[in-house]
Amino acid sequence: MKKINLTLTDFFNLPSAEIYNADKFKPVSKVSIDSRSTLKNSLFIAIKGDKFDGHSFIRQAIEKGASIIIINKNNYKKFRDVNIPLITVSDTAVALGDLAKIWRNKLKAIIIGISGSNGKTSTKEILAALLSQKFSVNKTFKNNNNNIGVPLTILSSNEKHEIVIIELGTNHFGEIQYTASIAKPDYAIITNIGESHLEFLKNKRGVLNEKASLFNETIKAGGKIAVNVDDKYLNEFSKKFKKKITYSIKRNNADVSGKVTSISLAGHPSITVKFKNKLMHFELPLFGVNSAKNFIAALSVGLNLGLKKNHIVSGLKRIKPVDKRLNVIKNKNYIIIDDTYNANPESMKSAFKLIKAINIYKKKILVLGDMFELGAESVKFHEELAKQIIKNKINYVYTIGPLMNNLYKKLGNHEIERKHFRNRESLKAFLSQFDFAGSIVLVKGSRGMRMEEFEKIIENKAND
């Protein structure tokens, strides 16, 4: 099997590149932007980020064995003494993407792109666990799904990989079109269209327009799309495409149909799947109906790539909840649902449904922080959570953040114990003294609210 590498010709084809010390060039098969990683015989690209500038670590990268360096042109004078191949470009972040395009064309692996307002990381992890029972799989590390993370995932893939699963995220128009044009997926999944990043994407139609770039680029590359026909936006948009797989947990006539037949007292769903007129039954190790949706999304591609029931059963044993995403922690006499990674209205509603579905304890508690990036209607979205809290029979609601204060006020006329905290220390003190025995506690809020600090206080009480 021929090893994939980057040649001198590849670098000559890199837009805006000027190559110094080309006579010392040797092909490389590893690319890094982290000077702390193993760099022997690798390419180091100096990326300027929000916190650090990779140009500050070039000498360190060379000491650790980097054999080629890419820098921004305006930094050349600082490094003209470097005696290994040095390549200058107009923008190193763009050069990273251009190199990933070159690498993508060398890969023999099937590329699967996944995006969506909710569930994309969980769907990625489920699909990777299932497909790894039949194929050699590489995947996006954690949620490195932006203009830097997507190229790095491609560049970390090699000739041994048969499948590469790439997560594509966004919060501004044009981001997915850029990363999808690099990935050129053979298959694409968009899990759903929800109310996320509305500060920049404006409304659900804007979210659709941005996410749909993944479908457009996949079809352009000759690939096939997996369509959630339960989502009215995706169902309508995808009608113009012929190369598609449909999936659903509501309809019986999709290519891959799932039906949640029961949910255990602990919140684990059982699901019946229909594919090519055959029925299969599975018990999921994950929690809630949303996990069943993510499972069906993953199966829509997995089954089309030849997965059999034995692969799926074996893969399910290897699936674990993604950290801080509906992660259920069982203590001696209470349960914590750690969903602190992020929040939007749809994921809040799903989490409320899960806390209702887990029936081991009757006392249901919410510890909620603000949802960010919801634009002009932020107040309305927070107030509307009140209906879902009442519907799911929540007993206690404790909130923090100026936006969550709107929810607190909206719950004023209902028999729900509630309290709003104006600062973090007062909430921490309250949680430290609260008796959580016999309860199920959901902790959730947007990333910037750092809700994991509150979750840890609740979790640590079990060890007191």
Q: What is the mean pLDDT of the segment spanning 60-86?
A: 95
Instruction: Determine contact, residues 302/110, Cβ cutoff 8 Å.
Output: no
Residue that the structure tokens 């209205």 belong to = 345
pLDDT at position 331, please? 86
426 SS3 class: helix
The 10 Å CB-count burial string (b at 16+, else e) for 87-108 is bbbeebbbbbbbbbebbbeebe
CATH code of the domain made up of 8-90? 3.40.1390.10
pLDDT at position 321, please? 82
Handedness of CA 361, 341, 215, 185 (dihedral sign): negative
Which residues neighbour 161 within 8 Å (Cβ) at sequence distance 6 or greater? 107, 109, 136, 137, 138
Predicted confidence (pLDDT) at residue 200 exceeds the cutoff of 80: no
Q: What does the block give as tokens for 122?
A: 């969980």
Q: What's the mean pLDDT when you consider all of the chain?
A: 94
Q: What does the block give as tokens for 276?
A: 């090519």
pLDDT at position 18, please? 96
> What's the order of all strands across the beta sheet hosting 278-283?
137-139, 163-167, 110-115, 187-190, 224-228, 244-248, 256-263, 269-275, 278-283
Taking residue 348's Cβ as centre, other Cβ atoms within 10 Å add up to 25
Domain regions of the chain by residue span: 8-90, 107-316, 327-461
Q: What is the mean pLDDT of the segment spanning 191-219?
A: 85
Q: What is the mean pLDDT of the segment spanning 407-426?
A: 94
Residue that the structure tokens 């352009």 belong to = 220
What backbone phi and psi angles, to 5 degrees, belong to 77? -60, -30
In tens, the pLDDT along 229-286 reads 999 999 999 999 999 999 999 988 999 999 999 999 888 999 999 999 999 999 999 9
What backbone phi and psi angles, to 5 degrees, belong to 32? -140, 150
Tell me the DSSP string of 85-145. -EEEES-HHHHHHHHHHHHHHH--SEEEEEE-SSSHHHHHHHHHHHHTTTS-EEE-STT--
Instruction: Determine contact, residues 125/199, Cβ cutoff 8 Å.
Output: no
Compute the CA torsion angle 425, 428, 423, 171 (nearest 10 deg).
Answer: 120
Residue closest to 365 by CA, chosen among 341, 388, 335, 391: 335
Q: CA-CA distances (angstroms) from residue 7 to 31, 93, 246, 448? A: 13, 19, 41, 42
Handedness of CA 150, 152, 156, 157 (dihedral sign): positive
In tens, the pLDDT along 129-147 reads 999 999 999 999 988 999 9
How far is the first Cα of the chain from the last one, in angstroms, to the nearest whole number?
56
Tell me the DSSP string of 45-78. E--B-SS-BGGGGHHHHHHTT--EEEEEGGGGGG
In tens, the pLDDT along 270-329 reads 999 999 999 999 999 999 899 999 999 999 999 999 999 999 999 999 998 888 888 899
Predicted confidence (pLDDT) at residue 198 exceeds the cutoff of 80: no
CATH topology of domain 107-316: UDP-N-acetylmuramoyl-L-alanine:D-glutamate ligase (3.40.1190)
Percent of the residues in the chain that have a pLDDT greater than 70, as a whole number: 98
Residue that the structure tokens 């979210």 belong to = 207
Instruction: Determine the Cα–Cα distance for residues 21 and 11; give it in Å rounded to an integer.
Output: 13
394 SS3 class: coil
Cα–chain-centroid distance for residue 325?
Answer: 10
CATH superfamily of 327-461: Mur ligase, C-terminal domain (3.90.190.20)
Instruction: Determine the Cα–Cα distance for residues 54 and 45; give it in Å rounded to an integer.
Output: 7
Instruction: Determine contact, residues 15/96, Cβ cutoff 8 Å.
Output: no
Q: What is the mean pLDDT of the segment spanning 424-453?
A: 96
Instruction: Determine contact, residues 154/4, Cβ cutoff 8 Å.
Output: no
Compute the CA torsion angle 15, 17, 23, 25 (nearest 10 deg).
Answer: -70
Q: What is the mean pLDDT of the segment spanning 388-397?
A: 96
397 SS3 class: strand
Q: pLDDT band for position 332 (50/70/90)? A: confident
In Å, the largest CA–CA distance within the chain is 77
Percent of the residues in the chain that have a pLDDT greater than 90, as a whole number: 85
Which parts of 213-347 are beta strand (E)?
A: 224-228, 244-248, 256-263, 269-275, 278-283, 327-330, 334-339
For 242-251, 433-442, 453-462, which range has the lowest pLDDT when averaged over its residues? 453-462
Instruction: Determine the Cα–Cα distance for residues 173 and 197; give it in Å rounded to an integer.
Output: 10
